[in-house]
Structures are given as structure tokens and as C-alpha cells.
């Protein structure tokens, strides 16, 4: 049982390049999330998927797109990377049945640098 | 709007000393509150959560937190710090409202340093 996995672990991009961050969970969870973590700002929600086939914007969606490929996988795409997107990206999942007290389970993160 | 504020971005304690990490919330509806811990180069993991069942919540690794409505606080404590407690700690609140179920708002984080 691997929990939440993310690939790649590290990535360096040049401004304007595109890339997709992959996330998968093996806990049969309904809900999945993408966050970015920046120093002194905590975690901020980029996009959210309550269930397979649905996605919703979070606090900071500009410059990103997501795809909930199936129940297990939730990918985050940067179409034209900018230096402001240099950050650590975390994927998380939750059962989606716990309502307001649902626990989120996090992946190990992807460290992205945009030059 | 709901929010959490963590007082002190960096806290340093000696091994064996009391750990106190502060979190205050703002919410016009009953809040559901969480503490997550992030060890170096890892993702976050749940320490404990307040679900309104009890105001004193016990979590993993000897941590506990007390919900105080009158003070709008949910401070995290541990009686005796261990070197392995060195990490970043995040307080979070669940967002109420249609379409928000499951979403969390995180505080800025507090880095705990434990000195030998």
C-alpha cells in the first residue's frame, strides 16, 4: 500500500516550457487535491476533484490545468511555466465520505524550479 | 470567511521542555480544526483533528490540542520535546459551504527546532 505517490520528485524547467505532474493514490479515495507550498505562506489549494470526472478551482488556479484521469490519478499541468510557479507541489487525497472532518493524505511532493 | 493564524513562524525549545505551538482561528460557523506535521523533505501527515466530540484532542507522538471557543484557539502542546519532533507544523480549518466539503485552509506554518 503505497498511499499517495507523485512523479517526478524534482524538476527544473525554463520559462515557457510545459510539464505535467503526476499523482496517484491506491486508497480508493474519492477526493484528490493539488497544493503548492511556498515559504511563509503555508499550503494553498490549486485545484480539487471531489470525485472522478469532476474538478474545481481552488485558491490559486491561474496558470494550471488538471485532469482527473480516473479514480486513482489526478494530474497537474503547467502549460507555460513562469518563475512565479517555482514551488513545492503536493498532491493529497481523502475518502470524500468524512465531510468536514475528512483526513487528507499527502504525497512526498515535487520540487519545481522555473528558470 | 474562515481562516487560521499561527503565531510564531519559528519556535525553539530544548529537548525535554514543553512544546507550545499557537493557532487561532476565525470562523462564523462551528470550526473543524486540524494539526498536520511535515518532517524534512516529506509530505504532511495528520497529527490530530477537532471534530466537536471533545475539546481536548489527543494525537500521535504525544501531542494534544485543546479547542477553546472563548479564545478562538486550538494550540498544540507536548509536555516533553524530543529531537525527533523537529519539523514544520501546520494548523488548518475545514471550509464550510456548498462545494467546499473536504477543502482545507492552512496556516502559514511553524517550524519547531529542538535543541539538545
| pLDDT band per the 50, 70, 90 thresholds, residue B31 | confident
What is each CA distance from B97 to A101, B31, B67, B103, in whole angstroms?
14, 12, 22, 10
Q: What is the distance in angstroms between the CA of the first residue and the CA of the last residue of chain B?
A: 41
% of residues, chain A, pLDDT over 70: 100
Judged against a pLDDT cut of 80, whether residue B96 lies above it is answered with no
Distance from the Cα of A69 to chain B's closest Cα (Å) equals 20
Whole-angstrom distance, CA of residue B86 vs CA of residue B89: 9
Between CA B5 and CA B73 the distance in angstroms is 9
In a mutational test of the B interface, the residue from A100, A103, A106, A111 whose CB has the highest number of chain B CBs within 10 Å is: A100
The length of chain A is 115
Judge whether residue B75 has pLDDT over 80.
Answer: yes
pLDDT at B73 over 70: yes
The mean predicted confidence, pLDDT, of chain A is 93
Substitution target in A33, A36, A43 with the highest count of B β-carbons within 10 Å is A43
Residues from A in contact with B at Cβ < 8 Å: 4, 31, 33, 40-45, 48, 50, 56, 58, 90, 92, 94, 96, 98-109
Q: Across chain B, what does the average pLDDT equal?
A: 92
In this predicted model, which residue has the larger pLDDT, A24 or A95? A24
Instruction: Report the pLDDT averaged over residues A50-64.
Output: 92
Amino acid at each position: 500500500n503505497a498511499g499517495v505517490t507523485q512523479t517526478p520528485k524534482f524538476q527544473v524547467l525554463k520559462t515557457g516550457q510545459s510539464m505535467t505532474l503526476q499523482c496517484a493514490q491506491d486508497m480508493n479515495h474519492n477526493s484528490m487535491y493539488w497544493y503548492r507550498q511556498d515559504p511563509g505562506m503555508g499550503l494553498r489549494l490549486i485545484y480539487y476533484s471531489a470525485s472522478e470526472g469532476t474538478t474545481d478551482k481552488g485558491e490559486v488556479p491561474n496558470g494550471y490545468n488538471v485532469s482527473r484521469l480516473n479514480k486513482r490519478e489526478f494530474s497537474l499541468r503547467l502549460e507555460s511555466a513562469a518563475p512565479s510557479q517555482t514551488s513545492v507541489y503536493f498532491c493529497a487525497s481523502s475518502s470524500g465520505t468524512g465531510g468536514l472532518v475528512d483526513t487528507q493524505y499527502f504525497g512526498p511532493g515535487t520540487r519545481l524550479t522555473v528558470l | 470567511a474562515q481562516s487560521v493564524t499561527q503565531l510564531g513562524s519559528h519556535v525553539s525549545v530544548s529537548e525535554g521542555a514543553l512544546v507550545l505551538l499557537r493557532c487561532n482561528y476565525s470562523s462564523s460557523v462551528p470550526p473543524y480544526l486540524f494539526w498536520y506535521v511535515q518532517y524534512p523533505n516529506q509530505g504532511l501527515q495528520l497529527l490530530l483533528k477537532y471534530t466537536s466530540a471533545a475539546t481536548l484532542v489527543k494525537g500521535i507522538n504525544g501531542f494534544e490540542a485543546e479547542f477553546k471557543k472563548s479564545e478562538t484557539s486550538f494550540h498544540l502542546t507536548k509536555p516533553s520535546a524530543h529531537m525527533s519532533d523537529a519539523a514544520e507544523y501546520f494548523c488548518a480549518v475545514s471550509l464550510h459551504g456548498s462545494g467546499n466539503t473536504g477543502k482545507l485552509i492552512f496556516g502559514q506554518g511553524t517550524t519547531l527546532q529542538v535543541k539538545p
